[in-house]
Amino acid sequence: MTAPLRVLVVDDARLARLELRTLLAGIEGVQWVGDADDVPAAREAIARLHPDLVLLDVQMPTGSGFDVLEGIEALPLVVFVTAYDHYAVRAFERDALDYLVKPVDATRLQSAVARAQARLARVDAAAAAPRDRLGVDDQVFLRDGERCWFVALGEIRRIVVDGNYARFWFRDQNAVLARSLTTLEARMDPALFFRANRTTLVNLRRIRAVEPSIGDGYDLVLDDGSQVEVSRRQARELRERMAL
């Protein structure tokens, strides 16, 4: 099943946020993930929630919607929602997906959401197109703010996916990449990575212990001491893979 489009609403007006949430609730395949009412809160929410789409007001007391986007490396898709039409040119210069003028028409919002869903589907399809699987020594490029790494696949302990974003845990670091679980599984060597549950891929070579858990499940202890729960659905495959 395709993951829902995760949407963050940013507007300093409470009633405007409520209106957008109400309209979003009527659109299939959409998940509202949070609100923000000013620039700092919006930047924090984007970093924490990793939304696929941001409905972004332009004028706010602490700055503008354009200020929200400054310096963010992994930008989500953006639809500007404002009472003013004269920011449209600047918005599209910032690669806005759409520009909606208040009061927001439900049909126009639905159209913007459909465009976002189609854009993400194309990205996933391109990323998941048949290519050679990555081997243990192949490197991936990861970036988190100002920091960048080339990381060999064998160095990655686990990958935790939230919607269309994945957090990679490696060495003593972690970084986020805009990839869905489906895309990652298509590239990862199944002899190296195991899907422990609906959100987590684990490097089998980084497992140091397997502990029984509730029911027929397991807890995996990795070489950094972190633990990953294996769902009952995946426990049988783990037993087969590790001859338990």
Pair 80, 155 in one domain: no
Q: How far from the centroid of its chain's Cα atoms is residue 16's Cα?
A: 25
Range of weakest confidence among 182-186, 219-223, 234-238 = 182-186
The token pair at 217 is 């499940």
Res. 212: pLDDT tops 70:
yes
If one compares 194 and 129, the residue with the highest pLDDT of the two is 194
If one compares 23 and 179, the residue with the highest pLDDT of the two is 23
Average pLDDT over residues 61-86: 88
Q: For residue range 31-56, list pLDDT tens digits in order.
A: 999 999 999 999 999 989 999 999 99
Q: What is the pLDDT of residue 138?
A: 84
Range of weakest confidence among 89-93, 106-110, 148-152, 167-171 = 89-93
- For 119, phi then psi, to 5°, come to -60, -45
Pair 186, 219 in one domain: yes
Q: What is the pLDDT of residue 1?
A: 41
CATH number at residue 187: 2.40.50.1020
Q: For residue range 126-138, list pLDDT tens digits in order.
A: 655 555 678 788 8
Average pLDDT over residues 146-157: 88
Asked, for residue 184, whether it belongs to a domain, the answer is: yes
Neighbours of 137 (CB within 10 A): 9
User: What is the total count of domains within the chain?
Assistant: 2
Res. 141: pLDDT tops 90:
no
Residue 214: burial class (beta carbons within 10 Å; 0-12, 13-18, 19+): exposed
Pair 160, 204 in one domain: yes
**114 and 120 Cβ atoms separated by less than 8 Å:** no
Pair 107, 201 in one domain: no
Pair 30, 103 in one domain: yes
Pair 122, 166 in one domain: no
Average pLDDT over residues 139-149: 80
Q: What is the pLDDT of residue 239?
A: 84
Asked, for residue 132, whether it belongs to a domain, the answer is: no
DSSP conformational letter for 18: H
Name the β-bridge partners of 149.
142
What residue numbers bound the domain in which 154 lies? 139-242
pTM, entire model: 0.57
